Amino acid sequence: MTLAGKHIVLGISGGIAAYKTPFLVRQLVQNGAEVETVLTRSAAEFVTPTTLAALTGRPPRSALFDIEAEAAMGHIELARWADTLVIAPATAHTIGRLAAGLADDLLTTLALATPAPLFLAPAMNQQMWAHVAVQENIRALRARGVGIIGPDAGEQACGDVGPGRMSEPETIIDHLQTLHAQKPLEGKLTGRKIVITAGPTREPIDPVRYISNHSSGKQGYAMAAAARAAGAEVVLISGPTRLETPAGVRRVDVESATDMMKATQAELEQTDVFIGVAAVADYRPAEPKDRKIKRESSGDISIEMTMNPDIIRSVAESAARPTVVVGFAAETNDAIQHARDKRLRKGLDLIVVNDVSRKDIGFNTDENAATLISDDKEVTLSKQSKDSLAGAIVEAIVELLGES
């Protein structure tokens, strides 16, 4: 039981999805965790304190101004006690208060006072989840390192269908198990320089059109954040994205594969690890037009394509080759065999392969699953947040550096 002995504070906010929390509490306890529950004022309308007390063996907490508890600075002690703070369900209101940094009840005060990792399992109407204010709050929290689990899509209590359902307890447990199964990485990459490419490239056809792909850059940015958290000096060479730069990371913006190649070569000096996460276009128009191509009534047009530089292969073959070179492979069929072949063909120390034919992981999602392939082993990582997956990959890189 990877949660054995772990201190989990479970925050519950007031949404209909709170009916799932007793099942989540039960599974946490069955996995060996010690659980404290904290309710917002409206959460008790959906799940009773008696139920939670029976499942955890501890009375739930809800009041920030509890004279008996606060005589011993109870909220600070609870913040220090926690190994992880999970809020499930996390309503739009609670997410907004967390994004604003408010501390107007016990739960939001704990979120600011604890050094423990914070995870949210959002739950709300699909239209609320899609609202620009909610999405801006989610982006802000992600940028601060908050883990977002879900939400799932499907039929909702209001009758709507779409994304907004709270992730199932089993999914939340999987995220926590992955977090606590990983070895602490703090300081493991101190003194190391890591260069990471991320996002798509854009290959111009004319001044208004280009060829690109579906990469959001999320996995590459998660890799940059994880490497920085482990103490590395991180350079993030990024194609066009709408993502915020992880704290402490130096970002170099590029557009095309040729731009990315030049930026990579400029950063190779004294680089210990290169991680090619970017989805680089294999081909580009041979002769981009300097004026917009007009629609012709005569029929179709053809565009001659030429091959782009192979960035990661050039890094692996460079005289200034980093100690560890890591590649990513996005495959749609025979994923493992294609990745094995690619690793050998390009001279990589490690390749990370995922099946992008799956709609629930990979491009433009917040979760991923992958297999790590190196000289002597293959490790399968189940579906989890991209932040969590990045931590597991960084751990594998630390091991490779130790063996070099």
Question: What is the CATH classification number for the domain harbouring 39?
Answer: 3.40.50.1950
186 part of a folded domain: no
Task: Indicate if 246 and 141 belong to the same structural domain.
Answer: no
Domain boundary among 181, 208, 226: 181
Task: Indicate if 173 and 205 belong to the same structural domain.
Answer: no
Task: Give the pLDDT confidence score for residue 183 in this predicted structure.
Answer: 56
Exposed (0-12), middle (13-18) or buried (19+): which is 108, by Cβ within 10 Å?
A: buried
- Structural domain of residue 85, as residue ranges? 7-181
Task: Indicate if 220 and 335 belong to the same structural domain.
Answer: yes
Task: Indicate if 274 and 374 belong to the same structural domain.
Answer: yes
Task: Indicate if 177 and 229 belong to the same structural domain.
Answer: no
Mean pLDDT by 10 residues, the chain (404 residues): 85 92 94 93 90 92 64 70 94 96 92 90 92 93 83 78 88 81 74 96 93 91 91 94 86 95 95 96 91 76 91 96 94 88 96 80 74 92 84 92 76
Q: Is residue 38 a contact partner of residue 62, using CB atoms and an 8 Å limit?
A: yes
CA distance 317 to 312: 9
209 part of a folded domain: yes
The distance from CA 201 to its chain's CA centroid, rounded to whole angstroms, is 21
Greatest alpha-carbon pair distance for the chain in Å reads 83
Task: Give the pLDDT confidence score for residue 2 in this predicted structure.
Answer: 67
Q: Which two tokens stand for residue 253?
A: 């913006």
187 part of a folded domain: no
Task: Indicate if 274 and 329 belong to the same structural domain.
Answer: yes
2 part of a folded domain: no
- As a whole number of Å, the end-to-end CA separation of the chain is 32
Task: Indicate if 118 and 224 belong to the same structural domain.
Answer: no
What is the residue type of 33? A
CATH of the domain at 379: 3.40.50.10300
Strands laid side by side in the 84-90 sheet:
34-39, 7-12, 84-90, 118-122, 147-148
CA distance 224 to 35: 32
> Who contacts 63 (Cβ-Cβ below 8 Å, separation ≥6)?
69, 106
56 part of a folded domain: yes
Domain boundary among 181, 203, 232: 181
Task: Give the pLDDT confidence score for residue 11 in this predicted structure.
Answer: 96
Per DSSP, the three-state class of 328 is strand
Domain count, the chain: 2
CA distance 392 to 389: 5
Catalytic status, residue 158: yes
Q: Which two tokens stand for residue 149?
A: 């689990």
Question: How many CB atoms neighbour CB 278 within 10 A?
Answer: 27
Q: Which residue is it, tokens 């392969």?
A: 353
Q: Is residue 21 a contact partner of residue 44, using CB atoms and an 8 Å limit?
A: no
357 part of a folded domain: yes
Under DSSP, the state recorded for 90 is E
Task: Indicate if 166 and 202 belong to the same structural domain.
Answer: no
CA distance 245 to 234: 11
CA distance 15 to 17: 5
394 part of a folded domain: yes
Task: Give the pLDDT confidence score for residue 234 in this predicted structure.
Answer: 94
Helices (H), 114-256: 126-130, 132-143, 169-181, 218-229
Task: Indicate if 273 and 327 belong to the same structural domain.
Answer: yes
Task: Give the pLDDT confidence score for residue 71 in this predicted structure.
Answer: 46
Predicted TM-score (pTM) of the model is 0.60
Helices 21-30 and 169-181: angle between axes, nearest 10 degrees? 40
Catalytic: which of 158, 161, 266, 307? Answer: 158
The distance from CA 172 to its chain's CA centroid, rounded to whole angstroms, is 14
Task: Indicate if 128 and 261 belong to the same structural domain.
Answer: no
Strands laid side by side in the 350-355 sheet:
250-253, 233-238, 193-198, 273-276, 324-331, 350-355, 367-374, 378-385
Task: Give the pLDDT confidence score for residue 308 in this predicted structure.
Answer: 94
The distance from CA 260 to its chain's CA centroid, rounded to whole angstroms, is 23
Task: Give the pLDDT confidence score for residue 156 in this predicted structure.
Answer: 73
Task: Indicate if 104 and 206 belong to the same structural domain.
Answer: no
Q: Is residue 23 a contact partner of residue 169, using CB atoms and an 8 Å limit?
A: yes
Domain boundary among 181, 211, 234: 181
Task: Indicate if 28 and 160 belong to the same structural domain.
Answer: yes
Helices (H), 48-130: 49-56, 67-70, 74-81, 92-100, 106-113, 126-130
Beta-bridge mates of residue 355: 331
125 part of a folded domain: yes
